[in-house]
Chains A and B, each alone.
Chain A
Amino acid sequence: MTALTTPRASGRRSRPAIGSQLFLVLLTVAFLAPVVWALLSAFKPANDIIRSPLLFDPSTFTLDNYTAMFQDVPIASGFLNTGIVLVFKGAITLFFAPLAAFAFAKYSFIGKNLIFGAVLISLMLPTIVLIIPLLLEMKEFGWVNTYQALILPGAVDAFAIFWMRQVISAVPDELLDAARVDGCSEFGIFWRIVLPVIRPGLAGLAVLTVMNIYNDFVWPVVIASSERMATLQVVLSTLSQNITGNRIGADYATVTGELLAASSVALIPLLVLFIALQRHFINGILAGSVKG
């Protein structure tokens, strides 16, 4: 716990050698080059993206891909829908996952192993196979093309439970017992002791959850079939089918341009979020993953 809350004084070693610096620089170039390519290519004439993908000629700078994209696909309502799902699904996950994880980490109760076993299984099961059954269930509920269908399934997902259980396990029992002696209710312990203590871990979960919800597309594509419910990733998939599909028909160059423009627009909010919350994110993941 101490390791994650206090920035450790790690003046332990000398400045890294040239070789190490070089390694990091190379890695950075490798990691950023494709993204930079996508961002820059979005400003090229669509046909040039296909014809000369590695050439950037400033004189051909164009916003055509962006204007075509804004005109063709409902990207604004995509942002709105993603935002709505993000707020509700995020809030549910960030409250109920730690709550359940608290029970798994600090209490013994009947069925604990059974439920936790099911959690582990569902982690191992490829999600794609649950799509059709879930879809039929949504049909029974009359939830197709509704926000609740986008929000509730997976709202308290197994990985969040697993992750939070790790974090809460590290909270010392003495702390909880002391609170009990002070007359704290069990929920009070969670609310007033556990949550504040695990805040870094929670921040990590928050960022991961935001990222997962933001980037999730398999389920939204299936369940949000109508245009008004399309999330941002659904909009992207509408564009990408012409490319990942089989290029039958004509104008896949235009669509490639639009896709890159849409991807850039979709990428920017998350990038900004990352740069702003960088510290929380890293510390949060530190809190959640396993210690030596």
Chain B
Amino acid sequence: MTVMTAARARRRLAPYLFVLPFVAVFIAFSIYPLIFTARLSFTNWRGSGAAEWVGWDNYTYLLTSPGFWNSLANSGVLWLLIIPAQLVIALIAAVLLDNAKLRLRGFYRVAFIVPFVTPLVAVAQIWVVVFDTNYGAVNGLLGLVGLPDIGWLTTSEWAKPTLALLFLWKTTGFIIIILLSGLQSIDSSVYEAASLDGSSRVRTLWSITVPLLRRTIMFAVVLQTLAVFQMFAEPFVVTQGGPYNSTTTAGYYLYNHITRADLGTGAANSFLLVIVVMALSLVFVRLLRAKD
């Protein structure tokens, strides 16, 4: 009897001990700065001197500022440019890689993950030269097939797609692996049934694979939504937000406040961004549940 209660007491106590180290570090280096940031968002502190309490001023400034809404809109457009394309490419690649008979399977898996580990600053250089309007390789190729030059990085219509390409390049490999993981957990008998059925490959993909992968896909979507709305390094190294702030993403806009030492506005901006990202994540989770 006493042994039983002792064990139960231990079992009750254990989780607290297990989370304690994490919670200690988390409070010290995440929660504390988070609270600090929350307070900061109601001040006009600039990194030195005394802070002045300004109430909701930073929030109202942002909510009435065209720049803030523009940055959200830019991220929204980038999201539309990136996520669907990425899912399609990654899905096809993952399905192909899932086939054990594929030659060079291991090579492809490494090749696809290489961009993920390449320092971005090095990549930014080639983006600038390859997408140059007059002398870049991409327009050179377009010229060969008789298409006109495109101002990839110099016009506000094309800068977003060009940036989206960079992001796709950098992260699609990771998404391929995630989808591959989902695919590997699908029972192969499902496919055998389909092939007996005489379903075409595309049909099988659409009517069997995609529904079975829905949770994995949603996981990838939520992950990438966070990444797209926080995207900062890509515009920073390639476009500096231009031309005409057309690539000033939500993350880059936020960074601008910080470089101007407008820390209060930066803090307020990040909380507004959390709300946006949370709302979007909720929508996806809802979508996911509605179909269950």
Are B184 and A286 in contact, with the CB atoms below 8 A?
yes
A100 to B16 alpha-carbon distance, docked (Å): 9
Q: Is the CB of B178 within 8 A of A285?
A: yes
Q: Given A11-B100, A16-B99, A156–B25 Cβ distance below 8 Å?
A: yes
Q: Interface digits, A21-32 against B, CB 8 Å rule (1 contact, 0 not)?
A: 001100110111
A-B interface, 3 closest residue pairs, ranked by CB to CB distance from nearest: A286-B181, A186-B14, A100-B22
B51 to chain A, nearest CB (A): 12
Binds B, one of A56-64, A70-78, A79-87, A121-129: A121-129
The 0/1 profile, CB within 8 Å of B marked 1, for residues 121-144 of chain A is 111111111111110110000000
- Return the chain A residue nearest B112 by Cβ: A31
Tell me which of A4, A259, A271, A288 contacts B117 (CB under 8 A): A271
Q: Is the CB of A130 within 8 A of B33?
A: yes
Minimum C-beta distance from A45 to chain B (A)? 15
Stretch of B34-42, B62-70, B151-159 lying at the A interface: B34-42
Binds A, one of B53-61, B78-86, B272-280: B272-280
Q: Are A211 and B37 in contact (CB under 8 A)?
A: no
Q: Does B72 contact A (CB under 8 A)?
A: no
Given contacts A11-B100, A132-B47, A152-B25, contact A100 B251 (CB under 8 A): no
Evaluate contact between A133 and B18: CB separation under 8 angstroms. no
In the bound assembly, the distance between CA atoms of A30 and B110 in angstroms comes to: 14
A-B contact pairs, 12 of them (CB 8 A): A24-B102, A27-B93, A34-B115, A96-B21, A96-B25, A97-B22, A107-B11, A124-B226, A124-B274, A240-B237, A274-B113, A289-B182
Is B122 a contact of A260 with CB atoms below 8 Å?
A: yes
| CB <8 Å contact, B18 and A103 | yes
A152 contacts B109, C-beta separation under 8 Å: no
> Which secondary structure dominates chain A's binding surface?
helix
Number of A residues contacting the other chain (C-beta, 8 Å)? 98
Whether the Cβ atoms of B34 and A270 lie closer than 8 Å is no
A226-262 vs B, CB cutoff 8 Å, 1 = contact: the mask equals 0000000100110010011000000000001001100
Contact with A along B93-115 (1 / 0, CB 8 A): 10011111110001111111111
A3 at the interface (CB under 8 A from B): yes
Chain A residue at minimum C-beta to C-beta distance from B195: A13
In the complex, besides A12-B99, A211-B116, A286-B181, 9 extra interface pairs with C-beta distance below 8 angstroms are A53-B126, A54-B129, A109-B12, A118-B31, A126-B254, A156-B22, A156-B26, A187-B17, A187-B18
